[in-house]
Every structure is written in C-alpha cells, then in structure tokens.
Chains A and B, each alone.
Chain A
Amino acid sequence: MTDNLASGFIHPRTVSLRHLWARINLAGVPVLVWLLLVVLLPNLLLVATSFLKTSNGVILLEPSLTNYARIWKSMGFWVLLWRTLSFSFLGCVLATCIAYPLAFYVGRVARRYKTLLTVLVVLPLWISLLMRIFAWRIILGQSGVLNAALVSTGILDAPSGAFLYSPTAVVIVFAYISVPFIFISTMGAFEKIPRDLVEASQDSGASARQTFMHLIWPLTRRNLAIGFSLAFLVTVGDFVTPAMIGGIDGTTLGVVVSTQFGFANNWPYGAAVAVALMLSVGLLLGAIIALTPAKGVMLGEEAEDSSPPSSGHKQYGYRFGTAGVLAAILYLYAPLAIIVLFSFNSANLQIFPLQGLTLHWYQELLKDQSLLEAAQRSVVVAACVVTLSVTLGTVFALIVYYSKLKGSRFYEMAFALPIATPGVVLGIEMVLGTELFGIPSGVMRIVIGQMSFVMPVTLLLLLVRLRRLDPSLMEASLDLGANRWQSFVHVLFPMIRGTIVAGAFLGLTLSADDVMVTLFLSGGAPTLPIWVFNQMRFGFTPSVNAIFSLLLFTCLLVVGLATWRNAVKPTKALA
C-alpha cells in the first residue's frame, strides 16, 4: 500500500501498449461506476446527513446547521477531539520510537534473520485486532497479569485499578497496534538506501550522527510519515480500544460516532462529528506529510545484499540492537501468548498462577449454537468478499494500467480513499450507502461494506506489481505472434498470479477480522468478530480465549501456507 504511494512514474514505453488496449476503453465505465457508488456517494451522503436534523429519533429532511452549531458550542466535543487526536498521536509517537530503530536494525543490520524478523513484526497485522486489544485487558486489568506480578513481587500492596480504563492504557494499546504499520513502511526505505551512499557519507568525513541527520533521515522521513499516517488513521477510527480499555477518561470521538449510529440513534449528529473528525485528522496528517518532504528519486537498483557484511558485527552496539529487537518481539507477542495460555487454563479468572490444563473452553465453543452460526456466517462473508474483490480488483487494475484512462493517479487515490478513511467513519458511510439502496442489514450489507476496503487493497497490490513488470514482456509476446488473450493467459497471468493470491490471503484476513465497519452493518446477523465483541461487552467467559487461540492458529496456518508457497516456487530474478 505504501509502496504504491511512493512509486513513481509510468515508463514511457507502456504508452504504446496502452494504444493497443485503447479499444477496451469502454471498460473504464465499470471503474467509474465503482468509484461513484462505493467511494463518492457514501462520502457525499455522510456530508449531506451531517446537515440534517432529527426529531425523536426520526431524521427530518431539511437542511440545517444544528449539528455543527452543537459541536461548536459543546465543550465536550473539543475535549474529546483533543483527546482523540492526542491518544492516536502519542500512540504513534511511542510506536515510532519502537518501530523506527527496529526497521533500521532489520533493514540494514540484520542479514541472516531479516526475512524472519520482518514476518514476525508484521504478523500481528494479520491477527485479530480484538484479540490484541483483549490481551491487554488481561494484562492491565485489576486482577490482571501486571497487577498480579506487582503484588507478588511486593511493589504494590494491593492490585491497582489505575492501569486499565485509563488514557495511558489506550495509548499503550494504540502503540501496540501501530508498530507493524510504521515498521513495514520505514523498513522499505531503509532497505532501499544503497550501501555506497552510506559509505560515501562516511568517506566525506561525516560522523555516525551526521550521516543519520543528513542522509538517513531525509531519505526515510517520508516513509515514516506515511506509516505514521496509516497507523494514525487506523487508531483514530478505532472505537473498540477506547470502549474496552479506556473507561470514561479514555473515550474518543470514534466512540461518540459509533454510539450516535448505535443506541443514541442520532445519525445526523454522528455524521457531523465524523466530518469534523475527518477534517481535523486531514489537517494534522497534511501537516505531518508537509513537514517531512521527500526530494529527488533514488537512482539505480535497490540495494542488493551483494556487498560483504560490514566488519565489527560483534560490537557492543550490535548486541544492544539484538537485545532491543528481542524486547520488541516480546512486546508484540507476549500478550498473544498469554491468551493462548489462558485458553488452556481451567480456572475461571485470568490470573497467574495457572490452575490446571483443560480443553473445557474449547468444548464449550462447540456447544454454542450462536457462535457456530456466527463462524459460519464469517466464512460465507469472507468467501464472497474475497472472490468478488479479487475478481474486480484484478479487472480494475488491468483497466487502470492498460487502458488510456486520463489521470490514472487520480483513480488510484480515489480507490485508496476507503482504506484511508478511519474505520468508524467508513462503517457509517457504508450504512448510509446501503440504506439508500434499501439493502437490508446482514450478509449482503456486510459483503458490500467489506468489499469497499478489501477490493482496493487487492487492486493496489496488483497495480504495484504491474508497474514493476518489464513492459517489453507483453510486447515480446505480441511480437512473437500471441494475440492479446493468449498473451494474458500465457505471459501476464502467470506473472501476476502470486500477487493475486497474496491479495486474496490479505483480503481473507481483513474480512475475517473486521469489527469497525462490520459492526454497523451486521444488524442481527453477527460475524465471528462481532459475536466475540458482543461477548466481551456483555460479560466474559474464558471461551473467548479459546476462540482467539483458534483464530490465531488459523491465521498462522494461512500465513504459513502463503509463505511456504512463495518459498517453494523458484525465485524469479528477472521478474
């Protein structure tokens, strides 16, 4: 995703191939239809709704500024806005402190374990957000792991209630969620800095600090800003964490919006808050991007690992780095491990020491009819979402790349907009959109809602891949006597198949995991994450641990399969 933002121009040679495909220019129509219905319309509806008002829970169709006046005058709103932005900002800053050095280490120092470390840091993105939040509840709770540890070591006399339900807790969890985003986007930048640039800097007499300030930082700051923005958008749109972890002082605007579309049932006010939130976030991120200018384009190939490893690996700094990486990995995985551990614990309470080994909580799951229904629904939804998204995403990517659509950059931005929309806002936008077309709550709505962000992911992944292909490969195929269809089947498809499969896997986890958007669309038909979310809100059973553990294993299996698939196939140096 970030790569796409950073990737540059289109090779001039492709222009002629576009001529060849110009005949299918009519195919640009579906692209426009999608953008109109799934991107433009929901956004317009949101803005339009924010200018309506309600009376006794019924929306009145007359324009008014009531909501904005209410926002403007409400002290509460400004406090919440400040809090929302600062939670996300502090969370992302904290995550940057962890992820930026980590990315430096993995991208430039670690050689042997580079791939493994990358997978380890990014893997949590694939693991249920609910599970990650829930894990922190177990750690920070009054009878939680942290308190138990502090009391048993004598630091505290009695368990403290100060950890959970506090702004600090929200910031910690936001940071936890943000680390992989910031890592993955800065890691790319660190990797791409050729070794000889660093050597040239040292050669020019720059100290390590000077090299960082004048070379590394300017070349990586834009990617950091992009990762930061992504994480910021994700956390700002996250109403689950504040609701589960934050308590009263930890409430954010996301929670306000979700309740307005939930039991408070004041859609226009909720829409107005959402619009105000989007504007503030837009301003803040715009400023961050503006403060991190990226000048010039890196020439030549990406840094290959052909040069010999620099000497002095066994230095003090190297050991320090290794220790840091291990600490970061611990931070990322300890919460997950705790959940798995407790899922086999026979006691009803989430406290150490563990009582005894049991599979009781897993058996419990099998008996729960509503859970099985939810799981089944999740599978159906995921299958529909992935199939449709991958098909549409592939077709749209080919259209955007090969047909002469004017301003393909603009199309890309438009496609990416739902990904960049905070979850809670996208969720209500989709409610408004599907409501307009009379699509009932349930599977249909969920599928459409989830496709709004899964389809762009597959599309953008594929576009990046298409841009990296040597354009003369398709020309060579045509030149060798294959017509366009044959060229697609025999040349293009085999080369993009891997990306399509990767997009499908990613879409699968995105769909199976989603709470933010799905919550608004499911009505009485929850998917698995929604069912779990409801369980967590209305009382807790250790069965939740068991579900999460199962989800974790499934997810590890999927990622493992995907990695294995890539590893088995011969690496394609020319591709």
Chain B
Amino acid sequence: MGTPQSNHVLSLEGVSKTYDGAQKPALENVSFSVKPGEFFSILGPSGSGKTTILRTVAGFEHPDVGKIVMGGKTVNGVPPFKRDVRTVFQSYALFPHLTVRENVEYPLRMRGEAKAIRSGKALEALELVEMAAFAGRLPHQLSGGQRQRAALARSIVSRPTLLLLDEPLAALDLRLRQQMQHTLVALQKELGIAFMYVTHDQGEALSMSDRVVVLDEGKIAQLSTPREIYFAPSNEFVSRFVGRSNLVPVKFETAEAGVVGKIEGTGVPGLLAPRAGPARMAIRYEAVQISTLNGSPHPGTLRGVVEDVLFMGTNCEVNVRCGALNLIGTVPAVRESTFLVGQPVQVSFDVQNTQVFYD
C-alpha cells in the first residue's frame, strides 16, 4: 500500500500492440493512469487506436509490450471474465433471448448470487437509468435510447471499479445524445465508478470528462484537462482535431521589440515568439475577429473579402480571403446578416488564444 499505483484503478505502462498482418502498430508506447472515480476520455479519429486501448483493458486483446495494471496487479494475461471491468458496447450487445431484467441480472447470475438478491439489485440498477418499467421486455422491443440505458444498467449492476464505454452514444440522435451526456455524468458522480470513455466526438469528450487523452496513430498526442486541451493544444494535431481552428503560416522576423510575427506580410501586434523563422499559428475561429472595412484597414489587421457565410444557429462562420490565405472566423448570428459575399472586411486576431508551432 501507499505505492503510486494503488491510487489508480488502471495504469497502462508502455503498452504497444501490432495486429497480426498489420504494417503499422495500433498502439505505440502508450502510458497513462486513471484515478478512482474519474471521468476519463480517450479521444481520437477512427484508426487512432482508441478502441484497441479499450479492448486491451477489457481483456479482449493482449499487449505485445508493456503492462496493464489494475488494483496494483498486472493483469496482462487475465481473461476478461476475471477482470473487475465492465464494458458498454457500441452495439449494446444485449442478449436477444433474455429480457431486460435477465440481461441486467446476467453478471450477478454468473457470479452465483441468489435469485432474490440479484433481482433486487437489477431493479435498483434499472431504476438508476429509469428503465424499471421496461424490465420485462425483450431487447428488440426497446428503442435505441432504451437499449442504451439497459446496456448501461447491465454494466453497472455489479459495481465494477472501472466502466469502459465504447462510443456508446454514436447510434443515438442528437437530442438523445445530449440527454444521455447529462445522464452519464450524473450517474458517474452518483456511483463513483471510474469511467473510461472512448469517442471520436470532441464535444462529448470535452463536455463530460475530468481528463482527456488525445490519440494520434497509436501514440498519445496530449493528456490533459478538457480546458487545457482546448485552449492550449500542445501540438498541431491536437489543435487541428480539437475545436475548429485556422492553421496560418507565420513568418517570425527579428525586430527592435524582439521577434515579431508576420502574416501575409502584415505584422501582427502582440504575436511574439522566442526565435525567428517560419512557423504555423493555430487560431480558433472564435479568436478571429472580422469587422467591416470602411476606408483603409487599421494597422495590424489583414484586409480581405468575404467568400462565404455559413449560418450555424448561435453564430455565423465567415470565410474571408486574405491574399493567398483563407481565414474563418465566427461572428454572433443576428437576424439580418452583417456580412455579404464579396464585401471587403478587415481581420484581426485575439493572439491570447493562439498556439505557435515551428516546423
């Protein structure tokens, strides 16, 4: 006791995995830990290895190199049914021949619990997800959202220390998805079970998680809190994948005030860097300020022409052509569009919210 590992429900230590017949590794030296009661998300595009991590933790895949540690013990060779981990499958994997209640009782029954006890626990779990009324139904008699809840009840009924969720909301429509996000967060707080949530949807990952790990081609791109990841992406991949960003070429030149960044030949005030040379600046849409141009542009702003405007509901995305460059910025949506296609505008940057990456 008292070792660093015992504070974690799960630790991956240098895990690598290459599938039979695959050229590239699915996972490459991946290490991270999940704390008890934490909502931990794995975010990445398809093929980035997030499902492989989940399946390795569940016990369906085995790492080639590295250790999976749970509760202080290495569990590399332990079969799935002996791990204190439950999975919510993307397809829900409800047993079609069992009723909802029988599905939920299933893990308890396998453990050999008495009928009365397990039926009570099952009902309790179903009540948690507001599915008690559907206990007698067969899975095919449920809607997508109800199946999702039933699958959730089945995985939490035995109170595992860690729950794995494999894109559980992918098959639901937008409204249900938003509802379920709230349900999941509330449930997680109530149960105190650590959740490991796999998704390619950055919105889900950022909104629910305590911490997020971003994966890129089997490697960890960044592991941090949602805010850090959103506002301070540590590399180009993360800035591109998370949020909506422009990636703008910048040339840093030495001047009297230090190193100053220039975009399309225009010096941008406040854009400072430790050294000179070509680089790229990631700037989110909401940090690009667009205003109408009357006469000549203010110093430090770029002059451009509106190419198109997308109405997004709460705001509008305005695509502006500045020389060889296309910049997208958001402006609040108002009833009458302020920007018309072909209209000359000036563009400035909120350099507080930029990240600079050298080549």
Contact = CB atoms under 8 A, between A and B. Distances in A.
Contact of B91 (A16, A472, A479): A472
Nearest to B55: A16
Interface string B209-233: 0000000000000000000000000
B284 interface: no
Interface in B81-121: 81-82, 85-87, 89-91, 93-97, 106-107, 109-111
Given A20-B79, A473-B93, A574-B94, A480 B60 contact: no
Nearest to A20: B79
A480 B106 contact: yes
Contact of B58 (A479, A483, A495, A573): A479
B95 A479 contact: no
A17 B79 CA distance: 11
B89 A480 contact: no
Interface string A542-575: 0000000000000000000000000000111111
A15 interface: yes
A375 interface: no
B351 interface: no
B93 A470 contact: yes
Contact of B60 (A16, A482, A483, A570): A16
Nearest to A469: B96
Contacts of A490: 95, 106, 109-110
A470 B106 contact: no
B93 A472 contact: yes
Nearest to B58: A479
Contacts, number: 94
B80 interface: yes
A475 B140 contact: no
A83 B97 CA distance: 53
B97 A481 contact: no
A472 to B, nearest CB: 4
A475 B97 contact: no
Nearest to A478: B80
B152 to A, nearest CB: 13
B10 to A, nearest CB: 15
B139 interface: yes
A476 interface: yes
A268 B106 CA distance: 61
A16 B61 contact: yes
Contact of A573 (B93, B106, B140): B140
Contact of A481 (B19, B110, B139): B110
A571 B96 CA distance: 10
A483 B81 contact: yes
A357 B55 CA distance: 72
A572 B96 contact: yes
A494 interface: yes
Contact of B97 (A476, A483, A494): A494
Contacts of A491: 95
B67 interface: no
A391 interface: no
B20 interface: yes
Given A495-B97, A572-B97, A479 B87 contact: yes
Contact of B86 (A470, A480, A494): A480
Contacts of A487: 81
B138 interface: yes
Interface in B43-100: 55, 58-62, 79-82, 85-87, 89-91, 93-97
Given A16-B61, A480-B106, A472 B80 contact: no
A20 B19 CA distance: 15
A478 B61 CA distance: 13
Contacts of B138: 570, 572
Interface residues of B, number: 34
B321 interface: no
Contacts of A16: 55, 60-61
B95 A473 contact: yes
A20 B83 CA distance: 15
B303 interface: no
Contacts of A481: 81-82, 107, 110-111, 158
Given A15-B20, A475-B80, A480 B55 contact: no
B140 A572 contact: yes
A313 interface: no
A477 to B, nearest CB: 7
B97 A478 contact: no
A372 to B, nearest CB: 42
B233 to A, nearest CB: 31
B251 interface: no
B355 to A, nearest CB: 36
B200 interface: no
Nearest to B107: A480
Contacts of B155: 480
A475 B81 contact: no
A575 B95 CA distance: 8
Nearest to B108: A481
Interface in B128-152: 138-140
Interface string A11-39: 00001110110000000000000000000
A94 B111 CA distance: 61
Interface string A477-513: 1111111001100110011000000000000000000
**Which of B79, B91, B95: most chain A CB closer than 10 A?**
B95
A473 B111 CA distance: 18
Contacts of B140: 571-574
Nearest to A16: B60
Contact of A478 (B81, B96, B109, B111): B81
Nearest to B89: A472
Contacts of B86: 479-480
**Which of B81, B82, B158: most chain A CB closer than 10 A?**
B81
B8 interface: no
A480 B97 contact: no
Interface of B: 19-20, 55, 58-62, 79-82, 85-87, 89-91, 93-97, 106-107, 109-111, 138-140, 154-155, 158
Given A479-B85, A481-B158, 16 more contacts: A16-B55, A16-B61, A475-B60, A475-B87, A478-B59, A478-B80, A479-B86, A480-B154, A481-B111, A482-B110, A487-B81, A490-B95, A495-B95, A571-B140, A574-B139, A574-B140
Q: Pick the 5 closest A-B CB pairs, nearest first.
A: A573-B140, A476-B93, A480-B107, A574-B96, A472-B93
Interface of A: 15-17, 19-20, 470, 472-473, 475-483, 486-487, 490-491, 494-495, 570-575
28 contacts: A15-B19, A15-B20, A16-B55, A16-B61, A472-B89, A472-B91, A472-B93, A473-B95, A475-B58, A475-B60, A475-B80, A475-B87, A476-B89, A477-B106, A478-B60, A478-B80, A479-B87, A480-B107, A480-B110, A481-B82, A483-B81, A486-B110, A490-B95, A494-B95, A571-B140, A572-B96, A572-B97, A573-B140
